[in-house]
Chain A
């Protein structure tokens, strides 16, 4: 953590820690311990932890995971410890990352429905623990996609704001308008980019960035044009950054809030998206809370059907990719490919070996035993994980305790 944040003024910069419920507690605990050791008051820190249960189940598949009910508990433990318990009150302890599952093939309606059904399950869990929704809902964050259908995406952001405000007001009796605000980050669609004529990706990304701006996003990630080829090179990442700066700093688009409001098409589309999302949320909630929707395989099947449908559309040429299924071009071989440092593995293994030799292993074992106990009860795991990581526990050691107590879960992949 010290090396990772070297020269970064972490009291001024909002840091995004992209870790999911399985690893968010130990990784974030390491971050908070580092901040404390550097002399910062963690109550003042700003940042976001992804901590999204759907990302690590239907989005990606992590290595030797535990079952969804335990993941939901871990996600809620982290939210509870940071915000309502006021240990890191300005932190965004969860970021419902519709982007990640949208990339897997679901449509705009499903993206919002997955996000809201999941958010409600987390709020319900914390309310069951005795907290009031207004104690924490204003710290929940969202991360949506900017995909290929220009107007539909803009309508999606508008519908999302309405749905969230209504949910907060009607379902959770929120009074404070600030807590009804749907604040969201947008990422342009990686799965819309091609390995053929990759510079065309700059144009695609710019158009998607425009959607996000017209739709009123709070922050934006523009993808690099080499997305379909490799991890971003420095040049590609810089062009991506400049692309969004052209929009936000040169065009004055951001001077107007909701500039497309009143357009007959946008208003109709917003109503339509809202209506369909509400119906789809009902469909998910009929199965149960988000962990049930996962463990029964329901969401996996919905994902599977969506991405096989999308694949068929692409193969039939109904969804167009220039350079791939229309005006085909060969793969580009001129792009400067970014290569990771293969010896990084050895550096990291060596570092962990040294850590294990240096720390007080007997003391750590006692702390890890306490974590075993807490996992079996309904007590928040964060305080003991703060202690364990301070004594040098690794992410792997913490996760292995989860696996030991709760068992490894085989996801119902439904191929």
Chain B
């Protein structure tokens, strides 16, 4: 019988006080962690066998004051086939989390993408520059304050679109 996600989290929770584990409606394990502990938690989980970083991305909730941004990590335990989602809430004034590129090489481009689209800083990242958008773009387009439409176009007048 292989271990459960709860058992893995139980093992490390004595070192990390901020872990709040829950299970969502789809059976996926969710853990909220503070940004000071996230690096240590991921390091320990990797040692425990969560050896694959499925995804790393961000999200923006402008209405959550003090926790406007979130960095989301998806880890996969290949041996026990377990998945866990780790979330770090960030305030828009302190948009910085430690980079995990030294744990997972695959995090490199995903952190660059998260920086590109949300402006979240990853400290100790070897090359935190834009990866998908044009280099001279001066904003982070997935933030909610920017319209999805291209704001630079001149030929779209609101009156043609009933606005």
Q: Do A and B share a complex?
A: no
Binding site for A on B (CB under 8 A): none
